[in-house]
């Protein structure tokens, strides 16, 4: 009997829905204290996962989920994440008119 491979799941901090890790975007706090996208999910330290969807980002901001998920008391600005989402679109790939970014 063949076994199905294990697919890691994570919880979106915006909508609280579970999804395979490959469908979510990892966010981290940089050493300078800025919220940043870790698209390849390789940066060290604590990360938070979110759907690459502006609605989930808005929900996470409204719920103040970044501070809890990343265990920080400093205020975090999600503008860099919002700009990344605008450039990349919901699929996480560059949009044709912005491929040079």
Is the model's pTM score more than 0.85?
A: no
pLDDT band at 100 (very low <50, low <70, confident <90, very high): very low
Task: State the pLDDT at residue 74.
Answer: 87
Count Cα neighbours of 47 within 13 Å in the Cβ-side half-sphere.
20
Give all domains of the chain, ordered by start, each with its CATH number: 9-88 (3.30.1230.10)
Predicted confidence (pLDDT) at residue 49 exceeds the cutoff of 90? yes
Report residue 69 as tokens.
Answer: 């998920």
CA dist 19 and 8 (Å) reads 9
| Higher local confidence (pLDDT), 99 or 3 | 3
CB 57, CB 50: distance < 8 Å: yes
Average pLDDT score over residue span 4-22: 95
pLDDT digits 0-9 by tens, 27-40: 999 988 899 999 99
| Higher local confidence (pLDDT), 99 or 83 | 83
């Amino acid at each position: 009997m063949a076994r199905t491979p294990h697919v890691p799941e994570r919880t979106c901090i915006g909508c609280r829905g579970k999804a395979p890790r490959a469908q979510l975007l990892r966010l981290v706090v940089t050493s300078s204290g800025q919220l940043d996208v870790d698209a390849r999910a390789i940066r060290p330290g604590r990360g938070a996962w979110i759907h690459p969807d502006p609605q989930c980002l808005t929900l996470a901001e409204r719920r103040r989920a970044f501070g809890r998920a990343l265990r920080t008391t400093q205020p975090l600005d999600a503008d860099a994440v919002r700009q990344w989402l605008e450039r990349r679109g919901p699929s996480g790939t560059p949009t044709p008119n912005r491929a040079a970014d």
